[in-house]
Amino acid sequence: MAVLETTDGAPAPVEDAPAPGAGTGIRIAAVSLWGVVGSLLAYGVLQTVLKASALFG
Amino acid sequence: MNLLDRRRTVAPPGYNRWLVPPAALAVHLSIGQIYAFSVLKEALIDRFDASHTQIAIIFSIAIVMLGLSAAFGGKWMERNGPRKAMALSATFWVSGFLIGSLGIQLGQLWIVYLGYGFIGGIGLGIGYISPVSTLIKWFPDRPGLATGLAIMGFGGGAMVAGPLTNALLGAYADTPAEALVPTMLTLAAIYAVLMTAGTAVIRVPAPGWKPEGWVPSPKKNAMQTHADVRVARAVRTPQFYLLWIVLFTNVTAGIGILEQASPMIQDFFSSVTPATAAGFVGLLSLANMAGRFVWSSTSDVVGRKRIYVMYLGVGAVLYGLLASVAGSAVGLFVVVAVLIVSFYGGGFATVPAYLKDLFGSLEVGAIHGRLLTAWSAAGIAGPLIVNGFADARAAQGIEGAALYTPSLITMTAVLVVGFTANLLIRPVDERHHEPVTAPAAASSIPTSSGEPALAGATKES
């Protein structure tokens, strides 16, 4: 049996579920944020790889 | 405050769960800056004409507050949802930078303690735990991958903040000490935007949601359960304390390497220059971050208990190698250290999934918060062990690799303790489980025997 995904163990009211079709804006924002955090991570990894390359130089 | 309410964050039908991790990463990348604090250290020493210890206290306060706020804020976070928690975290973290900047501008170190250390530290703790339980709920089939993704961001945060801070310190003024205030304000602005974006994007799954086609497979005697245990009960189980020991020993051992990485490799090998040692430190940062994602994801396949057998058992063997033969070749030393640090990162990232297996997802964020006190304790114990032994040996006139032999042997023993604690972990007794709430009736239904029906009746492999 699956467990309900509420925080207090009780079922959430019906109005908690947004209508189908809602959320296009948030999907675009989330994809954009993937781009931002991905770029930041890539920047950090690249900088660290450059630093680490001194070990093999 | 309505915008911050949990019900405003419920995902629309058909929402792609892969749109949730960037919100978690945005927060963890921001608060991960704490591990790049050392970049600010020299400039702060110059600015305040203070000792290393006086400046190190800022970092220590922040880490202590991280543990305390995670421990005591977890329950509040579970009740109010991830968006409110992330907004609170952003407010504290950014305020910490702003108040810290004020302290630097006024030349008052205590204001920096209060700002970056105390207030910022609260933001760290709340921010660290805020997206974890949400991700676990989105990825019940792959909780290790989910938590690995988020907590990898914490490791990555320092890798972003380090070079960025160096660049800002060099760009704003002639000396780093003069550039501190604009640098801190710039970082505050960046983190305010990034964390606000994460707060806006975070979504929780609708009640009863589960991945399409995913059916939990019942299996007796497995470590994973679909039952839920509340935090108040979880901290009364032996499993919680065994896992506390597991995390404490794993983090203590990892810090033992990370704390002394640069001087250690130079003491082991006279041919290693400071620049090469800095490269070694960079490589360990990569291992730390990669370990968080790779090992935690692997735990979804091999199981949480088995992966900790590897972290702690193989880790103990690797520490033994460091103490005995790894000093014979730089390459061997580097490979062994990289593996140890990757296990350290993996241990951090896998532990929320381990908690979910044992205690369910209902209050996993709050339980995780309580468990993070092990991190604070290890943050004190790890450096004490390594530095204590090294200082004592140096006072006896001992040099080179021999400086570290007792601490490496101690770390091996510490890991064996953790290894044993992990082997003792068993599924949580069903008397701790929350009663089942039947979805159709939307109410608790006691069984005919008078005992509440238990969600823990089914277990997955």
Question: How do the domains of chain B map onto residue ranges?
Answer: 2-201, 231-428
Structure tokens at B416: 């064996």
Give the integer Cα–Cα distance in Å for B234 and B27: 27
What is residue B441's predicted lDDT score, i.e. its pLDDT?
41
Q: How close B89 comes to chain A (CA, Å)? A: 18
A31 or A12, which is more confident? A31
Integer CA distances (angstroms), B252 to B84, B246, B312, B415, in order: 32, 10, 11, 9
Give the minimum alpha-carbon distance from A13 to chain B in angstroms, rounded to a whole number: 9
Per-residue confidence (pLDDT) for residue B6, from 0 to 100 = 77
Distance CA B287, CA B159 (A): 12
- For residue B46, the SS3 value is helix
DSSP code of B403? G
Provide the mean pLDDT of chain A: 71
Distance CA B250, CA B232 (A): 25
pLDDT at res. B54:
86
Shortest Cα–Cα distance, B326 to chain A (Å)? 17
Under 8 Å between Cβ of B32 and B195: no
What pLDDT is attached to residue B457? 33
ipTM: 0.82
The predicted pLDDT at position A2 comes to: 38
For residue B125, give how far its alpha carbon lies from the nearest alpha carbon of chain A (Å): 20
pLDDT of residue A56: 73
Interface membership of B357 toward A (CB under 8 Å): no
**Token couple for B442:** 């939307």
Nearest residue on chain A to B227, judged by CA atoms? A3
CA distance B99 to chain A (A): 26
CB contact under 8 A, A17 and B206: yes
Cβ-defined contact of B286 to A21 (cutoff 8 Å)? no
pLDDT confidence of residue B274? 83
Dihedrals phi, psi of B41, to nearest 5 degrees:
-60, -50
SS3 (DSSP) at B444? strand
Kindly state whether B78 is in contact with chain A, defined as any CB-CB distance less than 8 angstroms. yes
Smallest Cβ distance to A54: which of B279, B334, B458?
A: B279
- Residue B219 has a pLDDT of 59
Q: Do A44 and B160 touch (CB under 8 A)?
A: yes
Q: Whole-angstrom Cα distance, residue B79 to residue B366? A: 10
| Closest-approach residue (CA) in chain A for B435 | A9
Among A55, A47, A33, residue whose Cα is nearest residue B156: A47
Contact B279 A52 (CB under 8 A): yes
Q: Which fold has domain B231-428?
A: Growth Hormone; Chain: A; (1.20.1250)
- Residue A6's pLDDT is what? 42
Mean pLDDT of A9-16: 43
Averaged pLDDT, groups of 10, chain B, 461 residues long: 78 90 95 88 91 85 89 88 95 98 96 96 94 90 90 88 91 93 97 96 90 73 74 93 96 84 86 84 89 95 95 95 84 92 94 92 90 87 81 84 88 96 92 69 37 34 27
Residue B79 forms contact with A (CB below 8 Å): yes
Are residues A51 and B281, on separate chains, in Cβ contact within 8 Å? yes
- pLDDT, position B1: 54
| CATH number for the domain running over B2-201 | 1.20.1250.20
Judge residue B301's burial from the number of C-beta atoms within 10 Å of its C-beta, 0-12 exposed, 13-18 middle, 19 or more buried: exposed
Residue owning tokens 């090469």: B276
Summarised one tens digit per residue, pLDDT across range A20-29 is: 555 788 889 9
- Of the candidates B351, B376, B375, the residue with the CA atom closest to the CA atom of residue B365: B351
Which chain A positions have a beta carbon within 8 Å of B282's beta carbon?
Answer: 48-52, 54-55
